Amino acid sequence: MSDAARKRYAVKTPAGRRYSADSGREHVMKWWRRSVMAMCLVAGFGNGAAVVWAQDKPKEPPKLGWSNNTDLSIVLTAGNSAAKTWGFSDELRHAWKDARFKFEANVVRSDTSDDRFFQVASGLEFPVGGAPANPATSLVKPDPTRDVATYLLRGSYERNITARFFWNGGASWDRNDDAGIVNRYIVHAGVGNTWADSARRRFATSYGISYTDRQEDEPDPEKDHRFAGGRLGWDYREQINAATTIDHKFATNVNLSDPSDHSIDTTSAVTVAMAGRISLKVSLQWLYENQPALESDLDVIALVELINPDGIPGSGDEFFRTLTSGGSKLVLGSADARKDKLDTIFKTAIVIKF
């Protein structure tokens, strides 16, 4: 390709650097090579783990049929502060001899009240620029309103091709108000390896392709709203003893036309059986967006003090000096920014097994 042609096909990134079509393809190929290497490492780790696990005691076959786990967590406060925080998740599974189905629902919501304030009684009259003298007031305690809300619905089906190799497919919908994600739909299909599958332990890795359709609070010209992607994930469960189980799930979705546009959803949990079908569960979830959504119309605020050199009010030589804290607050305008890349959700919940 000639220099003129390279210049014609060059594109400008948000950071201001220029990439030619050749360098763009080279960037994608490098990313693919790194991805393949990572998958090979995962597969190699799984093969080594499978050899070690094969030396365990004779396997118990996985339990077949339906199973269901429901997690509930609720925090309520009243009095000087009013807040309602609750979490709900449900995992419905069905296991056949050569296939597995899973459906998940996950909701986290927090409602908090604004600061209390005194409201002046209605019907009073006072001049512009003035204030009523000793007005009658009443204390107002605002009702809690939504502050945090995340929702997830996800289903998947996988079927064995061989004892340790399977194909799978699934779909999900999620919403995260604080992260600026209004609706995000993902469908995916691929293959995977089952490295261990028993009543005590399960570890499986999967790799495939996906299609994403997303809607965010603010339109973002730098991001694709619909794109084909690559997907990598794993699912690990270990029964430590009769009462304790650990779980770890990981999934990443990558835009194939722009690898910097990728997301990660990973959850680690410890569940301890208490009595009968009741357990206590502690979990930590990380939701990562490498290119988070836009947030518009953020106030640009200056903390200032008024300087009057000659000490005469209204003489015209007064000016403001900005401060790091204190002083008066001035709103100078508005600007746009991106949301934070990482959301962390820590939960303690009661688990009911069916």
pLDDT at 26: 52
The CATH number of domain 62-116+139-292+339-353, selected from 2.60.200.20, 3.30.70.1350, 2.40.160.40, 1.10.760.10: 2.40.160.40
Convert the pLDDT of each residue in 206-244 to its tens digit.
999 999 999 998 888 889 999 999 999 999 999 999 899
Q: How much is the pLDDT for 81?
A: 66
Task: Convert 145-187 into a string of H (helix), E (strand) and C (coil).
Answer: EEEEEEEEEEEEEEEEEECCEEEEEEEEEEEECCCCEEEEEEE
Distance CA 82, CA 268 (A): 30
So what's the pLDDT on residue 311?
78
| Cβ atoms 47, 36 nearer than 8 A | no
Closest alpha carbon to 345 in 166, 8, 85, 59: 85
State how far the Cα of 345 lies from the Cα of 177, in Å rounded to an integer. Answer: 14
Tell me: the pLDDT tens digits for 263-290? Answer: 999 999 999 998 888 999 999 999 999 9
Q: Give residue 40's pLDDT.
A: 44
Question: What pLDDT sits at residue 62?
Answer: 63
Position 89, amino acid: S
The residue ranges of every structural domain in the chain are: 1-55, 62-116+139-292+339-353, 300-330
- Tell me the whole-structure pTM to 2 decimals: 0.71
Residues of the chain falling short of pLDDT 50: 1-25, 27-29, 32-33, 35-58
- Return the exposure string of 96-123: e unless at least 16 CB atoms fall within 10 Å of the residue's CB, then b: eeeebbbbbebebbbbbbeeeeeeeeee
Q: SS3 for 215?
A: strand
Cβ count near 203 (within 10 Å): 20
